[in-house]
Amino acid sequence: MNPVDYALRGQVAVLTLNNPPVNGLGHALRTGILAGLDKAMADDAVKAIVVTGGEQVFSGGADVKEFGTPKSGMAPNLPDVIRALEGAEKPVVAAMAGHALGGGLELAMGCHFRVAKTDATFGLPEVKLGLLPGATGTQRLPRAIGLEPALNMIVSGNPQKAATFVGTALVDELVDDKVVDAAVAFAENLVAEQRPIRRIRDLKVNAPDADAFLQFARNSVKVASKGMPGPMACVESVADSVKLPFDEGCKRERTAFLSLMQTPESRALRHIFAAERAAGKLPDIPADTPIRDIQKVGVVGAGTMGGGITMNFLNIGIPVVLLETAQEALDRGLGTIRKNYENSAKKGKLTQEQVEERMGLITPTLSYDAFKEVDLVIEAVFEKMEVKEAVFTKLDEVCKPGCILASNTSYLDVNKIASFTKRPEDVIGLHFFSPANVMRLLEIVRGEKTAKDVLATAMKLGKKIKKVAVVSGVCDGFIGNRMLALYGAAAYGLVLAGASPQQIDKALETFGFAMGPYRVGDLAGLDIGWATRKRKAEEAGKPFEPIIADKLCEMGRFGQKTGAGWYRYEAGVRKPIVDPVTTELIDAFRKEKGITPRKISDEEVIERCAYALVNEGAKILEEGIAARASDIDLVYLNGYGFPARRGGPMRYAEEVGLPNVVRALRRFAAEPGAAPTWEPAPLLVKLAEEGKGF
């Protein structure tokens, strides 16, 4: 297969990019475009050139398969190719369908004219990887469509429909179909009319009130970008397009691009991009593993989770049978789902018809008989093994053979749940996060006996409902909640040792978490943990020894919902207010335990909380609960608010240096009375000693 097909259509040479699936601009393609261009230029019979990806896709930009390989930087690079196309003395027309993203759009802007199909979308998404468009996009786009729209597009990274650009130099003609034919006809016309070549580099940027607009952009981007250097670099580079000659602007763009590539923020975002691509792959589940057809879903329990889970399927047109134990609970669940959709309608995200359509896909029921036809059931009932047993025994009786039986349990043993059925191979954990209709994470829990096609189906389904799906083995709390327990313990240890909840929250928020652990506790409600700890003590036959959070609960302080928890809240305001009552309670508790508080630095707060996650993550990796460190990062990024610019806990540890993490853990473990969990994981020690990363 030629990376670039060359065909003659009368006096027009058509260069068709040919690198499925999205015409990534890898080395072979770049070389092929130049070869095609040279051939066309050398042929006197050729009067014009069309560059296209065909009728499906123009180009998705850089070739991700080449990322990190020598080929990605090998000449000719993309700016070389673009310069050659633009410099051609025969007119070059881009014929664009589907995506033209990143380098793909930059390539098209190197052509002299552009014909686009109505389905085409244009975008420069580099900022989403902490970068700026590095192949002259920041200098060309403002010249093609004007300063303000170009800046908005580059700083947001969001793609736009081709039709948006009709009337600008970015789209010369928009067609409904057969874009290559249209581009050839367009090129023939150019030749017949002897229209002069138009190069974007020669256009002047349309920028009324440029200074005022740029100042406004700088101010707003500075606030919105929260310490990420990419967006501000985009603004400055676009500003150069107004102030500087084209070549100088391009030079500065390249320098800024190369320097952004070296930032930890961009490294983190590129790591996440690669992690998401890797997460769908498991060594023992080949890509051609058969998939079970999921046409209809059952959900057991219409509470907090059941309702949100249901919405995921309604949103993609899959009907859901929703089961409850009592009519009242069913009505409440349906009411919540409707309210969520009505809210989206109020915001203009859904039409009223769409709301009714989605609600119409639910079959509410109090009887298991309604599950006879479903292809997948997800159980979201109370977190008690006896209740799970009752539900799965019943599901095993009524569901048809081949139906996948899933549990949304947060902590319970999925193997045990599977053992309640005569078909453990059909049982799997599908652990959604609250609110399940919003949160992107889905932990897919693979039981000992889970069949490969069940796992493959769950992963495919995860993608369909637009989740980041990560596979976890069975253990207490799976990947995320197991790590969360250690993070919580580290934060609590800091309070006992002398830090205040507000110091801890602030330090972790400055690190990049949306909310520190004590604010999260108040938001989620402290009573849940209180009840669990009391139950566990009772089950273990031990006296209940309240910790500080329990003492808050004993005072009726359950968090935001009761107006006070770790903090105090004024009616209707979410902002936490530091409360002397809590401070006194903590002081008294420390005294009771004979602890003399010490001064704790913000660095120590971050070290303890982040390294607690890293250490447990390393154990999870070592035990094979997670297939790769980047899966653990995805869990923490998408389910627990770990800051994206740090790339996830495991990536962050690599950025800090694993030997540094091990040294700190050893220091914590050596303190008198330290929890044994501070002992560094053997895998972490081994990798640190070998100078390796995860």
Minimal distance, residue 338 CB to ligand NAD, in Å: 16
Minimal distance, residue 407 CB to ligand NAD, in Å: 7
- Which range of residues in 67-75, 153-161, 302-310, 675-683 is near ligand NAD by CB under 6 A? 302-310
**CB proximity list for 102: less than 8 A, separation 6 or greater:** 60, 61, 62, 123, 124, 125, 126, 133, 137
x-marked contacts with ligand NAD along 332-371 as a string, rule CB under 6 A: ----------------------------------------
Q: Is the separation of the CB atoms in 28 and 36 below 8 Å?
A: no
Nearer to ligand NAD, 138 or 410 (CB): 410
End-to-end CA distance of the chain: 37
Residue 485 touches ligand NAD, criterion: CB under 6 A: no
Nearer to ligand NAD, 305 or 374 (CB): 305
Nearer to ligand NAD, 108 or 418 (CB): 418
Minimal distance, residue 673 CB to ligand NAD, in Å: 32
Q: Is the separation of the CB atoms in 456 and 290 below 8 Å?
A: yes
Q: Is the separation of the CB atoms in 18 and 7 below 8 Å?
A: no
Residue 113 in tokens: 């004219």
Nearer to ligand NAD, 432 or 513 (CB): 432
**Subset of residues 140 to 159 that bind ligand NAD, contact rule: CB under 6 A:** none
Work out which of 12, 235, 300, 490 binds ligand NAD, going by CB under 6 A. Answer: 300
Give me the long-range contacts of 594-601 (CB less than 8 A, separation at least 24): 595/496, 595/497, 597/497, 597/498, 598/497, 598/498, 599/498, 600/494, 600/497, 600/498, 600/499, 600/503
Residue 391 touches ligand NAD, criterion: CB under 6 A: yes
Nearer to ligand NAD, 114 or 388 (CB): 388
Nearer to ligand NAD, 116 or 300 (CB): 300
- From residue 480, alpha-carbon distances to 156, 184, 371, 657 in Å are 30, 55, 31, 23
Q: Which of 66, 86, 89, 126 is catalytic?
A: 126
Residue 523 touches ligand NAD, criterion: CB under 6 A: no
Catalytic residue list contains 126: yes
Binding-site residue total for ligand NAD (CB under 6 A)? 24
Sign of CA dihedral 672, 678, 679, 684: negative
Work out which of 325, 327, 351, 352 binds ligand NAD, going by CB under 6 A. Answer: 325
Catalytic residue list contains 193: no
List, in sequence order, the alpha helices (H) in 540-601: 548-554, 580-592
- Which range of residues in 2-10, 288-296, 355-363, 426-434 is near ligand NAD by CB under 6 A? 426-434
Work out which of 116, 144, 275, 323 binds ligand NAD, going by CB under 6 A. Answer: 323
Residue 496 in tokens: 């006992």
Work out which of 2, 69, 327, 434 binds ligand NAD, going by CB under 6 A. Answer: 434
- From residue 504, alpha-carbon distances to 40, 379, 499, 515, 603 in Å are 65, 36, 7, 10, 10
Residue 302 touches ligand NAD, criterion: CB under 6 A: yes
Nearer to ligand NAD, 323 or 610 (CB): 323
Instruction: Report strand pairing: 48-52 vs 113-117.
Output: unpaired
Minimal distance, residue 96 CB to ligand NAD, in Å: 44
Residue 170 touches ligand NAD, criterion: CB under 6 A: no
Sign of CA dihedral 525, 531, 534, 539: negative
Work out which of 152, 158, 160, 304 binds ligand NAD, going by CB under 6 A. Answer: 304
Work out which of 13, 94, 235, 381 binds ligand NAD, going by CB under 6 A. Answer: 381
Instruction: Report strand pairing: 441-445 vs 468-472.
Output: parallel
Minimal distance, residue 514 CB to ligand NAD, in Å: 16
Residue 383 touches ligand NAD, criterion: CB under 6 A: yes
Helix and strand numbers, DSSP H then E, in the chain: 28, 17
Determine the length of the chain.
Answer: 694
- Which range of residues in 93-101, 126-134, 320-328, 686-694 is near ligand NAD by CB under 6 A? 320-328
Nearer to ligand NAD, 465 or 499 (CB): 465
Residue 423 in tokens: 């078909």
Peptide bond into 159 cis (omega under 30): no
Q: Which of 66, 86, 89, 106 is catalytic?
A: 106
Residue 405: its H or E element: strand 404-407
Work out which of 34, 261, 387, 656 binds ligand NAD, going by CB under 6 A. Answer: 387
Q: What's the angle, vertex CA 298, arms to CA 295 and CA 300, rounded to 5?
A: 165
Cα gap 635→449, rounded to integer Å:
23
Residue 324 touches ligand NAD, criterion: CB under 6 A: yes
Cα gap 333→325, rounded to integer Å:
12
**Subset of residues 399 to 418 that bind ligand NAD, contact rule: CB under 6 A:** 408-410
Minimal distance, residue 369 CB to ligand NAD, in Å: 14
Residue 230 in tokens: 């990419």
Nearer to ligand NAD, 12 or 380 (CB): 380
Which has the closest alpha carbon to 20: 70, 68, 59, 66?
59
Contacting positions for ligand NAD (CB under 6 A): 300-306, 323-325, 329, 380-383, 387, 390-391, 408-410, 432-434
Which residue numbers are catalytic? 106, 126
